[in-house]
A and B are shown apart, each in its own frame.
Chain A
Amino acid sequence: MSWLNEVIRPKIRSLFARRDVPDNLWHQCPACQQMIFHRDLEVALKICTHCGHHMRANTSERLAWTLDDGFNLIELPKVPADPLRFRDSKRYSDRLKQARDATRMDDALTVAHGSIDGQRAVVAVMAFEFMGGSMGAAVGEGIVAAGRLAVLQDAPLIIFTASGGARMQEGSVSLMQMPRSVIATRMVKDACLPYIVVMTDPTTGGVTASFAMLGDIHLAEPGALIGFAGARVIEQTVREKLPEGFQRAEYLHEHGIIDAVVKRTDMKAALARFISLLRIKEAA
C-alpha cells in the first residue's frame, strides 16, 4: 500500500486547468442531425435538446456532473509503456504520445475521490477519446488503484465505463487486465462496499467481460452500446441481420443484464440514492 501515501496527494491536473474554448458555437446531433447551440448543449449535459440523444462526454464533464465540488484526482501508478514494443503502420509508442497530446491525459482512465451529494465516493472514469477507451496495463492498474483507494477510504466505488475493449497493442498484457480488474472489484466487495458500474456508450469487449459486469448495481445511459462481441463480428459469424436495438442499454435492461437505464440528468441523484440505500452502516 506504500504507493497510496504518495498518490493520495491531490494533483491539480492540466485536465482542469485548460479552459475549453469551443471550436464551434453550434454542434450537430449525430442522431437527429439538428444543430444545437453549444451553451444549450452544456446546460443539457450534452443531451440533444431535440431528440434526447446522449452524446459522448469527456472525463472532466463526467466528474463535474457526478461529484460535488472540491473533489480530487489521484495520480495513478506508472506502468511500462509499450511492453511489447508493438508497431503496426505506426509505433504504439507514437500512438500513445499522440493520444496524450490530444487528450492531455496519461491514459484512458481517471480516478477521483470526493463526494456525491455529501456521501464519500471514489469515481473512476474511462475516456473513449483516449485510444477508444481501450484497456491496457495503465487502465488495469488504475482500476486496481481505484479499488484500493475505495477500501482505504471506506467509500463506494463507481466506475463509468466507455471502451472499445482490449488495447491490442499490449497483446496478452492487455488480456491480463481482465483478471487484474476483477481482483479490484473483489477487494471492494470483500470490504462490503458498494460497487456501481455506469455503462456509457460504448462499453464492449474485455472491459465488459471483466469489471464492468461485476457491479452490485449496473446502470447505463440511454442508447449506450454495451456488449462483448462487436456487431460486425457477430454478423459475419451468424450471417443474419442483427435485431433492432441489439446491444443497446434498453436491450440489456430487457435481458436482465443491467438494473436500470438512467438519463444523464438523473444519474447523480440515482447514484446518491443507491449509495445511501446500500450504506446503512454509515447512516446509523
Chain B
Amino acid sequence: MRHYLDFEKPIAELEGKIEELRRMSAPDGINIADEVARLIDKSAHQLRATYSKLTAWQKTQVARHPDRPKAKNYIAGLITEFSPLAGDRAFADDAAILGGLGRFRGRSVVVLGTEKGSDTESRVAHNFGMARPEGYRKARRLIELAGRFGLPVLTFVDTPGAYPGIEAEARGQAEAIARSIEACLEAPVPVIATIIGEGGSGGAIALAAGDAVLMLEHAIYSVISPEGCASILWRDAAQASTAAEALRLTAQDLRRLKLIDQIVAEPLGGAHRDSKQAIDAVGAAVQTALAPLLSLDAASLKAKRRDKFLAMGRGSLS
C-alpha cells in the first residue's frame, strides 16, 4: 500500500483507478488497456506537475515521508562490507546514529548516518533519528578514526534534531554537538555530507560541516522545524506552512544562498517512489564530489573547508 500525502490526493485517485481497472476482468465493449494507458499518462502528468512546484511545506512532508529511503538504505545500497562500530567509549551506543567502516566504490571509508527508522518498532529503537550526546561522541570518534587512517567520511543526514531530554542535557548535549561539528571541520580527510531527508538544526550540522554538502531535491535543512518556528514567532503551530516558506528551508533555497554545494535530483514523485534510483543518484553525486578531494593533502583540505564556511552568510537572496 502506497502512503499518499495530503496534496497527492489527485494522484492517489488516479492510481487507485488504474489499480481497480487492472484488477477487473475485461467487460464487453471497453478497451481496458487503452483506458489504463490513458490514466497512467494522466497520473504521470499530474505527478510531474505536482512535484515540479512543491511548496516548502509540501517538501517538508516529502522529506519526512515514511517510505522515503533512510540512512540505512543508503548504507545498504552504497556501502559494501559495512562493518558497524558502536559506542562513545564512555556511556552507551546511540542507535540514532549509525556508524562504521565499509567500502564505497571499492574505497575504504567511514560512514555515519542519522537513522529515523522505517516502522514503529525501528523508529522507537532509533529514537526517531534524534541523537543523544553518545551519538555525537561516537560520530566524533569515528571521524577521528577516519582521519588517522586516511579514510574519507561519508555522512547521511536525516534527523528532526538532537534529542531534547533531561539526561541528554545532563551528559552535555551541547558540548557533544559542538565537538562533532569541530571533528568534521578538523578532519584531515574528505568529509562528504548528504542531507537525504530532514536536516534538523544542530543535530544535522553536527554531521554536515563537510567539504561537500549535497542535498536531495526534496530534502529540507533548517535551523528550526517549521512547527517550532511557527509556535515561537507566530505563537501558533498551525502556521507551520507559513513558517516553512519563510525559513527558506528547501534545497533550492539553500543552494541559492550558497549554503550547500549541490542538489541531487530525485526520481519523479520523490525518492519514496523509487528508492533505488534515489540511492544510485546519491552514490553518483558522492563519487563526483569525492574525486577531486582525494588528491588534496590534509592542510589544503582543511584550509579549503574553513574558507568555504567562512565565506558563507555573506550572500543573500535578492
> Which A residues are closer than 8 A to B by beta carbons?
79-80, 82-89, 137, 140-141, 144, 166, 168-180, 182-183, 185-186, 205-206, 208-214, 227-230, 233-234, 237-238, 240, 242-243, 246-247, 251, 255-257
Q: Which 7 A-B pairs have the closest CB atoms?
A: A229-B164, A83-B316, A208-B174, A228-B174, A80-B316, A137-B313, A209-B177
Asked if residues B222 and A175 are in contact (CB atoms below 8 Å), the reply is yes
Give chain A residues whose Cβ lies under 8 Å from the Cβ of B206.
Answer: 209
Asked if residues A206 and B179 are in contact (CB atoms below 8 Å), the reply is no
Contacts A84-B246, A214-B179, A234-B165 given; does A168 touch B223 at CB 8 Å? yes
Asked if residues A183 and B309 are in contact (CB atoms below 8 Å), the reply is yes
Give chain A residues whose Cβ lies under 8 Å from the Cβ of B315.
Answer: 80, 83
Give chain B residues whose Cβ lies under 8 Å from the Cβ of A213.
Answer: 172, 174-175, 177-179
Give chain A residues whose Cβ lies under 8 Å from the Cβ of B249.
Answer: 171-172
Q: Which residue of B lies closest to A180 (CB)?
A: B309
Give chain B nearest CB distance to A28 CB in angstroms: 28
Asked if residues B233 and A174 are in contact (CB atoms below 8 Å), the reply is no
Is B209 interfacial (CB-CB < 8 Å)?
yes
Asked if residues B170 and A172 are in contact (CB atoms below 8 Å), the reply is no
- Some 22 contacts from A to B, beta carbons below 8 A apart, are A84-B316, A85-B316, A88-B246, A166-B224, A170-B223, A172-B247, A172-B248, A175-B201, A175-B205, A176-B312, A179-B209, A182-B209, A186-B186, A209-B173, A210-B202, A228-B162, A229-B162, A234-B166, A237-B163, A238-B164, A243-B166, A255-B171
Give chain A residues whose Cβ lies under 8 Å from the Cβ of B232.
Answer: 168
Contacts A168-B229, A180-B313, A257-B175 given; does A174 touch B223 at CB 8 Å? yes
Give chain B nearest CB distance to A38 CB in angstroms: 33
Q: Which residue of A lies closest to B130 (CB)?
A: A237
Looking at A137, A140, A206, A243, the one whose CB has the most chain B CB atoms below 10 A away is A206
Asked if residues B173 and A228 are in contact (CB atoms below 8 Å), the reply is yes
Give chain A residues whose Cβ lies under 8 Å from the Cβ of B205.
Answer: 175-176, 178-179
Give chain A nearest CB distance to B174 CB in angstroms: 4
Contacts A209-B202, A229-B164 given; does A172 touch B254 at CB 8 Å? yes
Is B169 interfacial (CB-CB < 8 Å)?
yes
Asked if residues B314 and A79 are in contact (CB atoms below 8 Å), the reply is yes
Chain B at the A interface: SS class: helix
Asked if residues A212 and B174 are in contact (CB atoms below 8 Å), the reply is yes
Give chain A residues whose Cβ lies under 8 Å from the Cβ of B223.
Answer: 166, 168, 170-172, 174-175, 206
Give chain B nearest CB distance to A15 CB in angstroms: 24
Asked if residues B185 and A172 are in contact (CB atoms below 8 Å), the reply is no
Give chain B nearest CB distance to A190 CB in angstroms: 10
Asked if residues A180 and B174 are in contact (CB atoms below 8 Å), the reply is no
Looking at B185, B247, B313, B315, the one whose CB has the most chain A CB atoms below 10 A away is B313
Contacts A228-B173, A237-B165, A255-B172 given; does A168 touch B316 at CB 8 Å? no
Is B181 interfacial (CB-CB < 8 Å)?
yes
Asked if residues B233 and A237 are in contact (CB atoms below 8 Å), the reply is no
Give chain B residues whose Cβ lies under 8 Å from the Cβ of A238.
Answer: 164-166
Contacts A83-B313, A176-B312 given; does A171 touch B248 at CB 8 Å? yes
Q: Which residue of B lies closest to A171 (CB)?
A: B247
B 51-84 binary contact with A (CB < 8 Å = 1; else 0): 0000000000000000000000000000000000
Q: Which residue of B lies closest to A136 (CB)?
A: B313
Asked if residues B178 and A246 are in contact (CB atoms below 8 Å), the reply is no
**Which of A176, A210, A237 is close to B259, meaning CB atoms less than 8 Å apart?**
A176
In angstroms, Cα B186 to Cα A47, docked, is 41
**Which of B164, B168, B170, B178 is close to A210, meaning CB atoms less than 8 Å apart?**
B178
In angstroms, Cα B173 to Cα A178, docked, is 15
Looking at A169, A174, A182, A213, the one whose CB has the most chain B CB atoms below 10 A away is A182
Give chain A residues whose Cβ lies under 8 Å from the Cβ of B174.
Answer: 208-209, 212-213, 227-228
Looking at A140, A175, A246, the one whose CB has the most chain B CB atoms below 10 A away is A175
Contacts A172-B223, A182-B185 given; does A233 touch B166 at CB 8 Å? no
Asked if residues B166 and A87 are in contact (CB atoms below 8 Å), the reply is no
Asked if residues B182 and A182 are in contact (CB atoms below 8 Å), the reply is yes
B 247-276 binary contact with A (CB < 8 Å = 1; else 0): 111000110010100000000000000000
